[in-house]
Structure 1
Amino acid sequence: MDGTAERTLLITLTGRDRPGVTSRLFGTLAEFPLTVSDVEQVVIRGRLVLGVLVSYSDGVDIGRVWTAAERLATDLDMEIELSTGRFRTMPRRRGRLHVTVLGAPLRPAAMAGIAGRIAASGANIDRIERLADTPVTCIEMDVSGADPEALRAALAVEAAERQVDVAVQPGGLHRRAKRLIVMDVDSTLIQGEVIELLAAHAGCQAEVAKVTEAAMRGELDFEGSLRERVALLAGLDAAAIDEVRREVKLAAGARTMVRTLKRLDYKFAIVSGGFTQVTDALAADLGIDYAAANTLEIENGKLTGRVIGPVIDRAGKAAALERFAREAGIPISQTVAIGDGANDLDMLQAAGLGIAYNAKPVVRQAADTAVNVPYLDTILFLLGISREEVEAADAADAATAR
């Protein structure tokens, strides 16, 4: 299909934003036999840029349209730009993608580098939108004409150089279909590692932390390293678990993320190489639908230094993801997995979208995308949910509760 040529008029209004500008422009254009071909509108700091592309046949007196549009702009005290031409309808470009950029701060040089990489790949930026300005700046671009894997690789290099995060995802319905979030707990949903908090009570924190770090980098077998660390807790009074539950701190933005996604009818799950004695309380507190973790064995009020049943390791986390999806009636392609350590790799790769959150290098390299800012609710931006939408929903809930 080579397309057909049409006469077009592009009208661009710029000026102070206020109610009624869009309706008045279309009301003026409604007086003429025109067809709306495209519309784009953006408001930045109270200043509106509205572009409307209309097509028309040879018999239309475009001079009258032009005069009417200019008269409207004068009446609205806005600037107007008009240009005529011919538009050739072409087939849609392949590879429609969402490119999400996170920065704190986000510098012009970073945007220049990212836009340059997109252009160098032969792709086009069709639309740009700001999703958040706090606690990080988040800009999302709709990109067409790119090979996803090649663009992701190129932007990963640029992101590392500019110290920003860049995510590349398929566009359209693919992202909107995500319905189940499955995430790691230690150093993801919460700050720090539960086993290290327990080890501090047992007097062996440094030894346990060293093994934990190596396991999370993928240098040790997870099950073996877990049993080795738990053995060091033998004899610890079980009351220490209650103290650790009180010491646990959620990651910044964790409540906001869970609350927002639950409000949108997402199912939420946690899966942990840690312990049910802590994760069950977190799930109850946050209203999380599914949870899986290891269980510390306790006898006569003391930790035995063993865990009960099969260990939730790298393969166990992936199996839990599949089980949760099955129980929720949700295809694996509609799941999102979030984690930071090597034992999360199978889960991240099995999910429809795998997100490495402040993760070890081996995990960042393997995941679909990575987030390296200390705010868990920035995950919402990767799902196309803006800060303004989150705040509006919170305000509506607060008003209802009063």
Structure 2
Amino acid sequence: MSASQIPPATAVPGDDVPTLLVKIFGKDRPGITAGLFDTLAAYSVDVVDIEQVVTRGRITLCALVTSPSPSPAQGTTGSSEGDLRATVHSWAESLNLQAEIISGRGDNRPRGTGRSHVTVLGHPLTAETAAAIAAAITASGGNIDRIFRLAKYPVTAVEFAVSGAATEALRTVLAPEAAQLGVDIAVVAAGLQRRAQRLVVMDVDSTLIQDEVIELFAAHAGCEAEVAEVTAAAMRGELDFEQSLHARVELLGGLDASVVEAVRKEVRLTPGARTLVRTLKRLGYQVGVVSGGFTQVTDALKEELGLDFASANTLEIVDGRLTGRVTGDIVDRAGKARLLREFAQQAGVPLAQTVAIGDGANDLDMLNTAGLGVAFNAKPVVREAAHTAVNVPFLDTVLYLLGITREEVEAAETHVG
């Protein structure tokens, strides 16, 4: 078809144009959607909007169409709308479906400015929780345009499409609700960037993996208690991260380098970690890790999981033994944020499209630098500062915060094999 043969687009109905909302309910089966539009086609109506959802085998199909014009035989006072109504009801009854047809004018009312995706993770998700969240959205001036389920396992994840309220205002209102209700809620701005290529950067210890790597090394050196005491001093603010790192690594001096391989074998991935990375990679995302731990472990994780980026501190090894020192620049709180920026630049991804995941105070700069910062089973101070939090022990639930459904996850897993 040449450009001159392409028909002009039909104008969007104005407020004065008569329209019909045709709603079909009943047991789902193949062919219902095609059958409805075959029935409507006899009246030469234009389709303005369509919405369909299937829940537990029951279909709700809505079609907003222009009202049919009177046929010449009916004259100016006749109307084929009555015929359309009768025909649709007859077709529905033949399939044991229910039909409702509502007259009106124009298209759907315009949605308010300010659009957001509100993702809720519940384990379980109760009716009381859903009611409280919906009420909070309404109180903030928002309107819920659509709700759909992203996943039912390992958590129930649902997403609210909300208009009429600013994203930051919604986040402010819903954060305390999440804490009170014991669910996780993420609020992100709607837009094309949500499905654009992204960069996801994670902390390692107690995030990508279940362990604290320096504690694994300390167990081999027989100095677990001393390392734990230095860690506690750092948490009390008596030492900064760099001081505490040097103090703890010094305790490892003299260990045979073979301990590195032993520690690698002891590392346990967090449940859902492999699924998270596989799915992101299959969908075209880039994935990296930054760690206050050691390259001797993160390099192995990079190779095992097929990560795009990895950076950590490096244990110095001389003559086959750990010296008790680290080499190179220290990856601390500020360093993690700096590395996120560097990875984003290398990946060609704007910071607004980056996602950072971490659990500790030394992750805070990184979480706040990213377009979306996710506190994963984190301390209260980290949860409060991050954009959103996940408090279930499954790392792949972060996928739902990105709008990725369980079906997409399973498809990615099947593809990988």
TM-score range, shorter chain: over 0.9
Letter in 2 for 1:101: V
Shift of 1:74: 1.1
Shift of 1:299: 2.0
Letter in 2 for 1:44: T
Q: How does 1:222-241 map to 2 (within 5 A)?
A: 222-241=241-260
Shift of 1:73: 0.6
User: Of the candidates 129, 135, 157, which is equivalent to residue 138 of structure 1?
Assistant: 157
Question: 3-state DSSP class of the match of 1:5?
Answer: coil
Preserved contact between residue 33 and residue 56 of structure 1 (Cα < 8 Å): no
Determine the structure 1 residue equivalent to 2:208. Answer: 189
Shift of 1:33: 3.3
Q: Distance in 2 between matches of 1:239 and 1:176?
A: 44
Determine the structure 1 residue equivalent to 2:146. Answer: 127
Q: Deviation string for 1:128-184 (max 9, x for gaps)?
A: 111111111101110111122221122111111111100000113131124211111
Determine the structure 2 residue equivalent to 1:38. Answer: 49
Question: 3-state DSSP class of the match of 1:370?
Answer: strand
Preserved contact between residue 321 and residue 347 of structure 1 (Cα < 8 Å): yes
Determine the structure 2 residue equivalent to 1:24. Answer: 35
Q: Distance in 1 between matches of 2:206 and 2:158?
A: 26
Shift of 1:195: 0.6
User: Of the candidates 300, 308, 315, which is equivalent to residue 334 of structure 2?
Assistant: 315
* RMSD after superposition: 1.9
Which sits farther off after the overlay, 272-281 or 317-326? 317-326
Determine the structure 2 residue equivalent to 1:10. Answer: 21
1:121/1:138 CA distance change after superposition, 3 Å: same
Q: Deviation string for 1:178-223 (max 9, x for gaps)?
A: 4211111111100021011111122222332344366468774211
Determine the structure 2 residue equivalent to 1:355. Answer: 374
Shift of 1:284: 0.2
Q: Distance in 2 between matches of 1:285 and 1:15?
A: 49
Q: Deviation string for 1:324-345 (max 9, x for gaps)?
A: 1122222222211111111111
Q: Distance in 2 between matches of 1:220 and 1:174?
A: 40
Does residue 1:261 correspond to 2:280, yes or no?
yes
Question: 3-state DSSP class of the match of 2:19?
Answer: strand
Q: How does 1:274-353 map to 2 (within 5 A)?
A: 274-353=293-372
Shift of 1:90: 4.6
Q: Distance in 2 between matches of 1:270 and 1:342?
A: 16
Preserved contact between residue 114 and residue 166 of structure 2 (Cα < 8 Å): yes
Determine the structure 1 residue equivalent to 2:92. Answer: 73
Q: Distance in 2 between matches of 1:9 and 1:181?
A: 45
Which sits farther off after the overlay, 320-329 or 183-192? 320-329
Does residue 1:248 correspond to 2:267, yes or no?
yes
Question: 3-state DSSP class of the match of 2:313?
Answer: strand
Equivalent residues, number: 396
Determine the structure 1 residue equivalent to 2:6. Answer: none
1:216/1:326 CA distance change after superposition, 3 Å: farther
Structure of greater Rg? 2
Determine the structure 2 residue equivalent to 1:387. Answer: 406
Which sits farther off after the overlay, 73-82 or 53-62? 53-62
Question: 3-state DSSP class of the match of 1:347?
Answer: helix
Q: How does 1:60-99 map to 2 (within 5 A)?
A: 61-87=80-106, 90-99=109-118
1:302/1:40 CA distance change after superposition, 3 Å: same
Preserved contact between residue 275 and residue 295 of structure 1 (Cα < 8 Å): yes
Q: Deviation string for 1:355-377 (max 9, x for gaps)?
A: 11111222212211111111011
1:283/1:88 CA distance change after superposition, 3 Å: closer
Shift of 1:27: 1.4
Q: How does 1:108-187 map to 2 (within 5 A)?
A: 108-187=127-206
Structure 1 portions without partners, runs of 5+: none
Q: What TM-score do you get using the length of structure 1 for normalisation?
A: 0.93
Preserved contact between residue 217 and residue 341 of structure 1 (Cα < 8 Å): no
1:50/1:204 CA distance change after superposition, 3 Å: same
Letter in 2 for 1:260: T
Determine the structure 1 residue equivalent to 2:62. Answer: 51
Q: Distance in 1 between matches of 2:101 and 2:235?
A: 59
Q: Distance in 1 between matches of 2:49 and 2:152?
A: 28
Q: Distance in 1 between matches of 2:309 and 2:375?
A: 21
Preserved contact between residue 215 and residue 342 of structure 1 (Cα < 8 Å): no
User: Of the candidates 240, 246, 251, which is equivalent to residue 221 of structure 1?
Assistant: 240
Letter in 2 for 1:323: E
Question: 3-state DSSP class of the match of 1:224?
Answer: helix
Which sits farther off after the overlay, 268-277 or 148-157? 148-157
Q: What TM-score do you get using the length of structure 2 for normalisation?
A: 0.90
Structure 2 portions without partners, runs of 5+: 1-13, 71-78
Letter in 1 for 2:84: V
Which sits farther off after the overlay, 339-348 or 134-143? 339-348
1:217/1:323 CA distance change after superposition, 3 Å: farther
Question: 3-state DSSP class of the match of 1:101?
Answer: strand
Preserved contact between residue 175 and residue 383 of structure 1 (Cα < 8 Å): yes
Preserved contact between residue 14 and residue 50 of structure 1 (Cα < 8 Å): yes
Preserved contact between residue 197 and residue 284 of structure 2 (Cα < 8 Å): no
